[in-house]
Amino acid sequence: MNTPDSRAVLRDVTLRDGLQLTGGILPTARKAEIVRELLATGVTAIEVGSMARPDLVPSMANTVELLELLTPEERAYCHVWVATPGNVRRALAAGALHLQYCLSVTDAHNLANIGRTTEASMDALPEAVGLAHAAGATIQLCLATSFTCPFEGDVDPQRVLDLVRDPRAEGTNGVVICDTLGQASPGEVGSLIGKVRDTGRFEEIVFHGHDTWGMGVANALAATDAGATMIDGALGGLGGCPFAPGASGNTATEDLLFALRPDWLTPDTFAALVRLGEGVTAEVGEASRSKAAQGARSEAKAFGWVLPKDAA
């Protein structure tokens, strides 16, 4: 899934970050269908859920059931959000092969999101890494609020770099740099991703952006130019963090793919993704925020990426 002009892979996060703030809860079988439809189009990395407490994030309550419903071959493309060694044990028991161990760069957000300080989350990371590797799974270090925090404001990039270099992160298989609030600019994103790259600590660098201020695609392109190897997006721009006031949806998968144009993306596969995004957003009672999907439904008949008028 490498693009002609960058190494970035698109990871679709609809089923985790995309569904966190929605009122509708998708049945397990429907989630499995979405995984399979994404894989059929050419998407090769999918975040399928989290081990978050179901009373706090009800839309994630059936993540274990979803993992058990998927085949081992399908799970090889799937990622699961975890925040504690206990989460890791549950995910591994259900067959997860790729984990994201998430914590916030700022204490205030980590306390709101996970219920512990950043230091406490880092202290537990070596155990989580050991559990994952013993089971043959990979585990990424996911750093939320890498640019701004809803409670503390601007985040010092040095704090992010200190966590990237922290010895307790040894053994993690990649790092996820998150613009949780979508308030970063392309210059800020390119600078921080470049500094993370220059540490030499990780070969896999993921950029997770939100489109709150309309910078989602621009920030993702800046991240790939600076060395990010993976970018996150959600169908229709769904999502946001329930513990981050002011955060709106993820950057739309459709918009990111239309901008990056990986060599597997054709007008037909793009049309399938547009239809899938329209279906998922309608099912959970949300409006699609994807500009590319809107363009695909335009009257510009001479443009090859526009869906035929009679396309469902």
Query: Catalytic amino acids?
Result: 241
3-state SS, one letter per residue, for 113-147:
HCCCCHHHHHHHHHHHHHHHHHCCCEEEEEEECCC
Closest CA to 297 of 286, 288, 306: 306
Provide the H-helix boundaries in the chain.
Answer: 28-41, 63-69, 72-75, 85-93, 107-113, 118-134, 157-165, 186-198, 216-226, 253-260, 267-283, 291-296
Alpha-carbon distance of 252 to 12, in angstroms, equals 9
- How far are the Cα atoms of 12, 98, 252 from residue 88, in angstroms, in the given order? 21, 10, 28
Partnered with residue 143 across adjacent β-strands are 103, 177
What CA–CA distance (Å, rounded) separates 259 from 137?
Answer: 31
153 phi, psi to nearest 5 deg: 85, -145
Whole-number Å distance between alpha carbons of 49 and 306: 32
Nearest to 185 by CA among 157, 161, 205, 163: 157
